[in-house]
Amino acid sequence: MNSPTSQLLDGFLVQCQQRVNQSLHRQLEGDFTSVILRDAMAHACLDGGKRIRPVLVYGSVQAVGGDLDWADNAACAVELMHSYSLVHDDLPAMDDDDLRRGKPSLHKAFDEATAILAGDALQSLAFQLLAEPVAAINSDTQLKMVQILAAGAGFAGMAGGQSLDCEASGQQLDLTSLETLHRSKTGALIKASVQLGALCCPQLQDTEMIALQDYAEIIGLAFQVQDDILDVTGDTETLGKPQGSDKELDKATYVSLLGLEAARSKAAELSDVALESLSSFPASADPLRELAAYIVNRIN
Amino acid sequence: MNSPTSQLLDGFLVQCQQRVNQSLHRQLEGDFTSVILRDAMAHACLDGGKRIRPVLVYGSVQAVGGDLDWADNAACAVELMHSYSLVHDDLPAMDDDDLRRGKPSLHKAFDEATAILAGDALQSLAFQLLAEPVAAINSDTQLKMVQILAAGAGFAGMAGGQSLDCEASGQQLDLTSLETLHRSKTGALIKASVQLGALCCPQLQDTEMIALQDYAEIIGLAFQVQDDILDVTGDTETLGKPQGSDKELDKATYVSLLGLEAARSKAAELSDVALESLSSFPASADPLRELAAYIVNRIN
């Protein structure tokens, strides 16, 4: 993590990353039907990534007074889901990216068939894990969590957004269409992460859930605006993926539609609104507060 | 359905097919983020297919004294999962099949990116549906059902088996390796279908579950043996997919390893063993009994 962070956030990020990395390792131990598939799944989800979605899961359960232990499976599940989406997005038929998290993308390190299957199996594993009984969470709530993750990943969420993104290639979207695209493509899983984290705490209040959902929607957009900014201002080494790829693909971005400075203002503004949505939360929500700032200040 | 069936099985098949087709249509109604994705998902799972897995779900819930209504979501979920697997298996990087269920395969009718995403979204939808509360089933059981479907679809099931299949291309597997491959590639989802159907009935007894699992494992193998036979003896029009594709891909099959006559005997033998595993069930299991015979007598 090279982006500027506070000591509090730094500590929280490291703690969350360690937790989710442990969970991911545990999921990929033991006997696998296909060793190649196991290695491909490991390549896709171990050793890398900022783990923003798991951090949001943990940040949310802590914000509402819950224990991080209760959220381990949910945190791991959202990261598995995110990892699968990156693998499929990188495929030649989609974004055709050779580099991911500073390493060859999965279809480059293995082959296309293995990348398709590893993505498929990562998605299944996310649901398998999320449906494992957790003592602190009642089964009705866990079922609801499965539904939330499925909706966030499926046609009304991530996959639907990626489909819009493919359709939009080479077209000049307006700002409304761009927001619709990102609300589903990246926003839906970010929102699901926050919702899942909150639901891991049995004492969750409806008002807390509403505030956290607002927070999630706003930082989801902020995250994407900053991504578009970094695609222009970052360098390939820091990003771990090719700089300038949006422009090369002639994709509409917040920068192409608003200009760089206005995009930066928008990101900062969204970060402020995200903070406001957490105004009624105690200090336990500080990691989420600082994350709102981090998301728009990160350099990779 | 052109294969020989009895009047009882015929009626049951039609009833199950109508039910699952209705459920599938309902899932694909309403507003979709991406209309193209919706159309692709519809192409993949509506209007076609024998719906064997939903029939197994319904057959199992009926066998243990449950109501077909309780199993509608589970039946639809397994068909969504099966449909996604066909879409991804047909991709150029995998089996590269242009024809499926007598229509252009999804990447031919649309494009590869859409086919990958439609498959992904069908998988998510399967879990979303299976996690929807069903009054007759308690939440603990429903969570278990999500786990069973995920395990049957993932690295230890369907995806793991497909990965073994890709690895095996051009290699001469022995019979043990071929069975391992098919137990996961097709057997796991067939077994999950029977398990899910049984779990839809709250009165399910452990002994019934054990017997049904035996039944499922055996007909899973029988199904694959018959598939290999049909690839040699069928014609493209009846099959709805290219005849002889296994040989063209130099795949090990039960026919290539055993010869056609021994493969036929094996299929018939498995069908008999499947019947035995249901010996303690009442007449409500007759559709499952007849299905065991149908699976090895079908011509497509």
Cross-strand partners of A230: none
Give Cα separations from A40 to A54, B160, B176 (angstroms).
21, 11, 25
Q: How confident is the model at residue A1 (pLDDT cuts 50, 70, 90)?
A: very low
Cα(B114)–Cα(A59) distance, integer angstroms = 35
Give chain A positions within 8 Å (CB) of B123.
120, 123-124
* C-beta atoms surrounding B282 within 10 Å: 10
**Cβ within 8 Å of residue A244, ≥6 positions away:** A231, A232
pLDDT confidence bin for B1, thresholds 50/70/90: very low
Please give the Cα distance from A15 to B206 (Å, whole number).
Answer: 43
- Residue A171: per-residue pLDDT: 80
DSSP B104: E
Evaluate if residue B239 carries a pLDDT over 90: no
Beta bridge partners of B100: B103
pLDDT at B129 over 60: yes
Q: Where are the beta strands (DSSP E) in B124-250?
A: none
Task: Measure in Å the smallest separation between the Cα of B244 and chain A Cα atoms.
Answer: 22
Assess contact for B108 and B83: CB atoms under 8 A: no
Chain A interface includes B151 (CB < 8 A): yes
Using an 8 Å CB-CB cutoff, list chain A residues near B153: 120, 124
Query: B23 vs A151, B36, B54, B56, B197, CA distance in Å?
Result: 17, 20, 11, 16, 16
Q: What is the mean pLDDT of residues A131-141?
A: 97
Amino acid identity at A76: C
The mean per-residue pLDDT over the stretch A16-21 comes to: 97
Per residue in A219-228, pLDDT tens? Answer: 999 999 999 9
Once rounded to an integer, what is the mean pLDDT over residues A111-129?
98
Identify which has the larger pLDDT, B251 or B108. Answer: B108
CB B61 within 8 A of CB B70: yes
Q: Are B159 and A119 in contact (CB under 8 A)?
A: no
* Span B59-82, average pLDDT: 98
Residues 82-101 of A with CB under 8 A from B: 84, 88, 91, 93-94
Asked if A77 and A189 count as a contact pair (C-beta separation under 8 A), the reply is no
Choose the weakest-confidence range: A103-107, A165-169, B38-42, B111-115.
Answer: A165-169
pLDDT digits (tens, 9 = 90+) for B243-282: 676 666 677 899 999 999 999 999 999 999 999 999 999 9
Q: Mutation test of the interface with chain B: which of A28, A29, A37, A94, choosing the one with the most B Cβ atoms within 10 A?
A: A37
Among all residues of chain B, which has the CA nearest to that of A146?
B131
pLDDT band at B236 (very low <50, low <70, confident <90, very high): low
Most distant CA pair in chain B: distance in Å? 52
Q: Which of A130-139, A151-160, A275-284, B161-170 has the lowest mean pLDDT?
A: B161-170
Given this model, what pLDDT does residue B240 score?
Answer: 67
ipTM tops the 0.90 cut: yes
Give residue B27's region: left, alpha or beta (phi > 0; psi -120 to 50): alpha
| Distance (Å) from the alpha carbon of A124 to chain B's nearest alpha carbon | 5
Res A240 pLDDT > 50: yes
pLDDT digits (tens, 9 = 90+) for A68-80: 999 999 999 999 9
Mean of per-residue pLDDT scores for chain B: 93
How far off is chain B from A211, nearest CA to CA, in Å? Answer: 24
Q: State the Cα torsion B25-B27-B28-B29 to the nearest 10°.
A: 90
Q: Cα separations (Å) of B65 from B68, B207, B216, B290?
A: 10, 14, 18, 17
Among A227-241, B49-63, B181-195, B283-297, the minimum mean pLDDT is found in A227-241
Which is it for strands B103-104 and A103-104: parallel, antiparallel or unpaired? unpaired
How high is the pLDDT of residue A5?
74
**Per-residue pLDDT tens digits for B139-163:** 999 999 999 999 999 999 999 999 9
Q: Please answer yes or no on whether B131 and A146 come within 8 Å at the CB atom.
A: yes
**Spatial CB neighbours of A90, under 8 Å, sequence gap ≥ 6:** A96, A97, A100, A105, A106, A107, A115
Cα distance between residue A28 and residue A41, in whole Å: 8
Amino acid at B154: G
Beta carbons of A160 and B119 less than 8 Å apart: no
B127 to chain A: closest CA residue: A150
State which H helix or E strand residue B99 sits in.
strand B99-100
Contacting residues of A for B117, CB less than 8 Å apart: 88, 159, 162-163, 166
Helix (H, G, I), strand (E, B) or coil at A269: helix
User: For the stretch A247-261, what's the b/e string if a residue is b when 16 or more beta carbons lie within 10 angstroms of its beta carbon?
Assistant: eeeebbbbbbbbeee
Q: Is B210 on the interface with A (CB under 8 A)?
A: no
A121 token code pair:
């199996």
Helices (H), chain A: 7-27, 35-45, 52-63, 72-90, 106-109, 112-130, 139-153, 158-168, 175-182, 188-199, 206-233, 236-239, 245-248, 254-258, 260-277, 286-297
Q: Do A120 and B116 touch (CB under 8 A)?
A: no
Which domains, from first to last, does chain A contain? Answer: 7-297 (1.10.600.10)
Q: What is the mean pLDDT of residues A140-165?
A: 97
The pLDDT > 70 percentage for chain A reads 94
Residue B112: closest C-alpha in chain A: A93
Q: Name the residue in chain B with its Cα closest to that of A177.
A: B33
Say if CB B187 and CB B224 are below 8 A apart: yes
Residue contact A114–B163, C-beta within 8 A: yes
Distance CA A216, CA A189 (A): 10
| Interval B211-230 mean pLDDT | 95
Q: How many CB pairs under 8 A join A and B?
A: 186
Mean per-residue pLDDT, B104-120: 97
Output the CA torsion B173→B179→B181→B182 (10° steps): 130
Question: Of the candidates B183, B182, B173, which has an alpha carbon nearest to the alpha carbon of residue B258?
Answer: B173
Predicted structure pTM score: 0.95
